[in-house]
Amino acid sequence: MGRTSRQTGTMWRKISACTLKQFRFDLAQKKAGLIVIIALTISVIASLFLPLISPMHLGVFYLFANLLAGFFLLLQPGFQLYRSRESRQAAGIFDKGSYYPLTQLVLISLFIIL
């Protein structure tokens, strides 16, 4: 299947077009997962700056609750997608991520009322 090079002693293999396509697909999935993680991280960090535009002082507990919500609803499913690279995990990000704006609204409402 392969030839040994006399000069370097390394093994050379023929790489088929299918192998290259699979390599590109795997690389594309890895890059897509990384892009998702970066975007979700930016979203969680940006949400930590929401109290700056609020007329009320929401406090440190709000920031902690916000960070926890971002971790469990966005970042954790994002890391699972990055590790597994399965389309099911992408649907999981969408499912859990759909609750993130509602969680933000509930958190802000609770901290304003209390």
Residue 23 has pLDDT above 70, yes or no: no
Helices H / strands E in the chain, number of each: 6, 2
Mean pLDDT of 51-73: 88
Whether the full predicted model's pTM is greater than 0.85, yes or no, is no
Mean pLDDT of 52-59: 81
Give how far Cα 1 sits from Cα of 13, 19, 63, 76, Å: 7, 15, 59, 43
Residue 28 is predicted with a pLDDT of 67
Query: In terms of pLDDT, which residue wins out, 64 or 50?
Result: 64
What does the alpha-carbon distance between residue 89 and residue 81 come to, in Å, rounded to a whole number? 5
What does the alpha-carbon distance between residue 57 and residue 111 come to, in Å, rounded to a whole number? 9
